[in-house]
Amino acid sequence: MSALAIRHLAFLTPGNYDDADPRAGLEETLSLFEYGEALGFDSAWVRQRHLEPGVSSAATFLAAASQRTSRIGLGTAVIQIGYENPFRLAEDLSLVDVLSGGRLNVGLSAGPPPFGKLLGERFFDTDPATYDFSHARVARLAANLDGDWLGEADSRITSAAGEHRPRLRPHAPGLRQRLWYGGGSLRSARWAAENGFHLLVGNINTGEETDEFFVAQRRHIESFRSHWRGESEPRVAVGRVIVPLDSADGAMRRRYRDYAASRHARTLQPQGERRTLFAPDIVGTAAEIIERLAADPVLPLVDTLRLELPYNFSGEDYRQILSDTTQLIAPLLGQAAEPSAAFRAAATVAG
């Protein structure tokens, strides 16, 4: 097995639910966060999704998760800033971080809202062409989290709560250093580095001067590390769809393999005008998965491996995937570096 820099183990869930009974699905996802904490995962992340059966407000969901867990890091991957007001979102995220005791990690991305045209006047107050959906919008959110005083030195606001010097409240010290950017191109990776955002990469990126997914992603990470300007050490988290079969029954195994097969064709060549590249899903026994992870040329460059749980699987499926990962895969991954709490916990369970 090649040397890996992986020190932290995380998972990302889509937060599925049935339209007819959303609460049941959301409760199941909250329970999955509790289960992941009990297994020893370092962090649990949720996708933010709009106009579909998923978590539409990651901040709201993670506020609830903060009260159901005590140790595990809580993350969102990613919040599309085009849907958000940078000040109001900063207020929500700061509140969640305080409620969680400083456990929040925030993944962000720039660009116009994908469903903006469909939403029309339901979302836009004026001509969409006048909005700035660039990286500058993400930077505005980061600046709001710095906790700077607003106005002149003698500026005060007065309300029934008394007189106060104004700034974003509650202030969450350290949250600015836990911002991540979802980068899938050389441009976005460099912007993240130069502006002190850690880097989230997954199983999708842009093919730039290559048709090979892993070549492209490795270049993105190398560019990120070479341009880093943040205050702390740069961190890179990579997402891979990993589905161990070891404790799955026959029906589960067939469903998992069928899922991966249905997505394999997209990995064979760049897709669309943007030349989108996809990594193959990793489905197999723990031994087969370890072999494939050891051959992944990107993993030696990252400190966090994030399991991207497949869409539309059941809670039982997710628990089996997480359990097999911690018991059978994590102890081996942890051999390559000083193990995190997750790897130590997993090794204890496995032993």
pLDDT of residue 343: 45
- Secondary structure class of 282 (helix, strand, coil): strand
**Taking Cα atoms as reference points, which of 217, 172, 178, 221 lies closest to residue 196?**
178
List phi, psi (to 5°) of 236.
-130, 125
pLDDT of residue 333: 80
| 268 Cβ contact partners less than 8 Å away, ≥ 6 residues apart | none
pLDDT of residue 234: 97
pLDDT of residue 3: 52
Q: How far is CA 296 from CA 3, 6, 198, 240, 301, in A?
A: 11, 12, 21, 10, 10
163, 157 contact by CB (below 8 A):
yes
pLDDT of residue 13: 98
pLDDT of residue 331: 86
pLDDT of residue 5: 64
Interatomic CA distance for residues 65 and 344, integer angstroms:
24
pLDDT of residue 61: 98
25, 49 contact by CB (below 8 A):
no
234, 303 contact by CB (below 8 A):
no
Q: What is the pLDDT along the chain (351 residues), one digit of tens a residue?
A: 345 668 999 999 999 999 999 999 999 999 999 999 999 999 999 999 999 999 999 999 999 999 999 999 999 999 999 999 999 999 999 999 999 999 999 999 999 999 999 999 999 999 999 999 999 999 999 999 999 999 999 999 999 989 999 999 999 999 999 999 999 999 999 999 999 999 999 999 999 989 999 999 999 999 999 999 999 999 999 999 999 999 999 999 999 999 999 999 999 999 998 899 999 999 999 999 999 999 999 999 999 999 999 999 999 999 999 999 999 999 888 643 344 555 455 444 434
| 339 Cβ contact partners less than 8 Å away, ≥ 6 residues apart | 7, 347
Interatomic CA distance for residues 294 and 30, integer angstroms:
32
pLDDT of residue 342: 52
Interatomic CA distance for residues 120 and 293, integer angstroms:
44
Interatomic CA distance for residues 60 and 42, integer angstroms:
21
Q: Could you tell me where the beta strands, DSSP code E, fall in the chain?
A: 8-13, 43-46, 73-80, 104-109, 157-159, 162-164, 179-182, 198-201, 204-206, 236-240, 242-244, 276-278, 282-284, 304-308
Interatomic CA distance for residues 54 and 31, integer angstroms:
16
Q: Could you tell me where the beta strands, DSSP code E, fall in 15-136?
A: 43-46, 73-80, 104-109
First-last CA distance in the chain: 21
